[in-house]
Amino acid sequence: MHNISISQKIKIIGFFLLLTIFIVMSVTIYLNQQNKKDALVVNMAGKQRMLTQKITKNIFQLYQTKSHNFTEINLAVEEFEKNIKTLQNGNEALMIPKAPENIQQQISQATILWDQFSLNIIVFKKALVENDTASLEKALRYFENSNDIVLKEVDTIVTLYTQYTETKNDFIKYFQYISFLFLLIFTLYSIMQFKQIEQHAKDFIEKSKQIGQANFDNMSPINIASEKEFIEVADNLNCFISKVSSAMDCSKNALEQSKLASKKLENLTDEFSTIIKELEDRSDIMNQIDRSEDIVIQATDELLKTTQKLQFLKNELDALLISCKQN
């Protein structure tokens, strides 16, 4: 497994944490904005239902009063047709997207009924102006029979939009729950990683204290298999501890050997002293030892004199060599 450094690990954790937060915030803001538009669309679809009732009510009022004031009914018809186009095709100015496929099909069915409905409105207005009783009664029967049908189709549009909005709201909730769970897991993972780094730092501090106290007897190697920097430092520190421990072992062995040699030398000294005492009683041997000692001293003196003469000869030769080089 490839070991990564502490700085790389912190950068990776920080990057994914910030990326996750950014994605959650961006998607949440976007979906909330879409919800606002969906609420506007649902209100618009609900208003279509109200406009249908308003038009039918106004038609029967005009028939009762025999009034030719079509301002209210014309405005209602204009608003209904404008809204039905917006619902079907969208509106860039209002940032309303096109309706989904299943809702578009329902809008198309409602539009077919509306086209027939609007033609009968024109027939009604013309018959009212011309006082055509037969055409008026025929138009009124149509509105009486068709009003509920058109209202039902428009109400289906409202229902579909409501279900569509609820589905999106459920998606937002699930997305937020999953995002929160992911952030929680990622945060716990980050805490575990930082705890591991902290533990490794504590191990190094403890080892440094033992080194400062020169306590290498019970010091175990540092085992780390994660952060790259810690692994390098642990390897160097373990190598240092191993060398110091080895040197201490060698010094202990040398000290023991020295003690053993000292003890043996002490034994030899004792033996030699015993031999000397035994030899003191033998005068002839002592005389030979004295003569041998005189010979050694004389030879040493002669050797010193010979060394001085050789040194003098070397100095003369060096002076001669220097004189030759100058000439």
Picking from 7, 5, 3, 21, the residue whose alpha carbon sits closest to that of residue 187 is: 21
Q: What is the pTM of this model?
A: 0.53
- Domain definitions of the chain by residue range: 6-200, 216-280, 282-327
- From first to last of its 327 residues, the chain has per-residue pLDDT tens of 456 666 677 777 778 778 878 887 887 787 777 777 777 888 888 888 899 999 999 999 998 988 889 999 999 999 999 999 988 888 888 778 888 888 889 999 999 999 999 999 999 999 999 888 898 889 999 998 888 898 899 899 989 988 888 888 888 788 778 888 888 887 888 788 778 777 767 776 776 666 655 555 555 555 555 555 555 555 655 665 665 556 555 555 555 655 565 565 556 556 656 655 665 555 555 566 566 556 656 656 665 666 666 666 666 656 655 665 565
Residues 153, 113: contact at Cβ < 8 Å? Answer: yes
Domain 6-200 grouped into CATH 3.30.70.340: no
Assigned token pair, 170: 């459920």
Contact 196, 10 (CB under 8 A): no
Is residue 119 within 8 Å of residue 13, measured between CB atoms? Answer: no
Contact 80, 51 (CB under 8 A): yes
Cα torsion 86, 87, 90, 93: sign: positive
- Best CA proximity match to 59, nearest among 50, 46, 69: 69
CA-based nearest residue to 218, from 241, 190, 191: 241
HSE on the CB side for 86, CA within 13 Å?
22
Phi, psi (rounded to 5 degrees) for 91 = -150, 115
